[in-house]
């Protein structure tokens, strides 16, 4: 869990993934034969087959691409006012109802600065009934660094990244943090490869950039890798919570990693899903199927690269997704990397 905590506490929004990439790179150097970074910033690690017995080297190995996006939803600074208030542009989808009264971190070239974020407008004590009902847009929020205008202008540049600031901790059976979407996927790929002894497939693990702004990094990476099989490693909704009808829960917490049947971007390869389910049954690892009517993930871009790629999606159920209180059940975290490793072993 220490690694997952470090990953969630390392700010990296779309286009600014260098910090989390450095953490991942440090962990995976010894696990792979070759580690490179492409022009967009995707981290690509290749591991040649490690066969249990010599095969004579004639059979071409199956090439598998794992893709885990390493960016998190956040903001880029768009304006600094003369009195030092900072305005931001979102990079990724926020529900503004979850953004009120937040502590944030403004990441500058001179270091990280603590700050608070609130929407412009009046406190309820002086607001009219009409004003109380309004839900603000992201553009209505401002960031207060508690410093005077001249100091803020010296320290903060247009384009600096801003992230919500929330701790990682265990709450009951759940890991709770910001950006479990998708540091969980990044973490699960590392844990799966760490546990792998033998495999006949050639593994290309890619920690991708800019997923949260429209799956931008995975396509170019897949074009370069030319995989036979693509596995998108991400998170998905878990709405087994009050106020949501059961038929819209998407996944159940604690029922194991979700093999996504479809979402708004991808219809997964059913044959591959059935293969993974057979491995799960044999190894007694929990997994569940899930359908998300909307949304997308990197698998869409792998599936549509070159002449098309057989693709499936591993997704960890996450309650309260895209908030600083994202929750993942410990059984779902464990089954994720165990099933991924078991599947890769037998490919
Ligand atoms: Zn995600």
**Residues tagged active-site:** 211
197 alpha carbon – ligand 1 mean position (Å): 28
Six-digit token pair at 345?
A: 């072993």
Confidence of residue 209 (pLDDT cuts 50, 70, 90): very high
SS3 state of residue 37 = strand
Secondary structure E strands in 81-120:
85-91, 102-108, 111-119
Structural domains present in the chain: 2-72+178-346 (3.40.630.10), 74-164 (2.40.30.40)
User: How confident is the model over 60-90, as pLDDT tens digits?
Assistant: 999 999 999 999 999 999 999 999 999 999 9
Distances (CA, A) of 158 to 82, 109, 252: 14, 11, 42
31 alpha carbon – ligand 1 mean position (Å): 24
118 alpha carbon – ligand 1 mean position (Å): 25
Confidence of residue 95 (pLDDT cuts 50, 70, 90): confident
105 alpha carbon – ligand 1 mean position (Å): 21
211 neighbors 218 (Cβ within 8 angstroms): yes
pLDDT at 215 over 80: yes
Six-digit token pair at 151?
A: 């100091």
The percent of residues above 70 in pLDDT, for the chain, comes to 99
183 alpha carbon – ligand 1 mean position (Å): 9
pLDDT at 128 over 90: no
237 alpha carbon – ligand 1 mean position (Å): 10
Six-digit token pair at 71?
A: 């960016």
User: How confident is the model over 302-312, as pLDDT tens digits?
Assistant: 999 999 999 99
**Distance in angstroms between the alpha carbons of the first and the last residue of the chain:** 28
Which pTM was predicted? Answer: 0.95
What pLDDT is attached to residue 57? 62
What pLDDT is attached to residue 162? 97
Q: For 60, which DSSP code?
A: P
Q: State the angle between helix axes of 270-283 and 330-346 in degrees (0 to 180), rounded to the nearest 10.
A: 110
Beta bridge partners of 262: 267, 291
H or E stretch including 26? helix 18-28
């Amino acid at each position: 869990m220490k690694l997952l905590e470090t990953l969630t506490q390392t700010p990296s929004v779309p286009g600014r993934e260098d910090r989390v990439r450095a953490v991942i790179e440090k962990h995976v150097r010894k696990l792979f034969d070759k580690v490179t970074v492409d022009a967009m910033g995707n981290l690509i690690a290749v591991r040649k087959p490690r066969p249990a017995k010599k095969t004579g080297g004639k059979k071409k190995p199956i090439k598998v691409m794992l893709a885990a996006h390493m960016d998190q939803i956040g903001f880029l600074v768009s304006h600094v006012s003369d009195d030092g208030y900072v305005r931001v542009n979102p990079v990724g989808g926020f529900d503004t109802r979850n953004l009120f009264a937040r502590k944030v971190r403004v990441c500058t070239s001179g270091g990280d600065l603590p700050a608070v974020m609130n929407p412009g407008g009046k406190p309820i004590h002086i607001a009219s009934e009409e004003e109380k009902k309004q839900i603000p847009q992201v553009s209505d929020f401002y960031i207060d660094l508690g410093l005077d205008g001249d100091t803020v202008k010296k320290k903060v540049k247009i384009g600096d990244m801003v992230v919500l600031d929330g701790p990682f901790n265990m709450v009951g059976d759940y890991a709770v943090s910001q950006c479990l979407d998708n540091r969980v996927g990044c973490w699960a790929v590392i844990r799966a490869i760490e546990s792998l002894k033998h495999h006949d497939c050639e593994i290309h693990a890619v920690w991708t950039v800019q997923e949260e702004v429209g799956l931008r990094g995975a396509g170019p990476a897949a074009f370069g890798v030319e995989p036979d099989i693509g596995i998108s490693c991400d998170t998905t909704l878990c709405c087994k919570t009050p106020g949501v009808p059961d038929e819209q829960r998407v996944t159940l917490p604690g029922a194991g990693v979700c093999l996504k049947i479809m979402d708004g971007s991808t219809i997964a390869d059913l044959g591959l899903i059935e293969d993974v389910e057979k491995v799960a049954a044999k190894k007694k690892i929990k997994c569940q199927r899930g359908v998300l009517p909307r949304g997308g993930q990197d698998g869409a871009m792998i599936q549509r690269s070159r002449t098309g790629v057989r693709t499936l999606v591993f997704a960890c159920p996450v309650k309260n997704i895209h908030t600083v209180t994202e929750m993942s059940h410990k059984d779902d975290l464990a089954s994720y990397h165990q099933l991924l490793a078991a599947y890769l072993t037998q490919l």
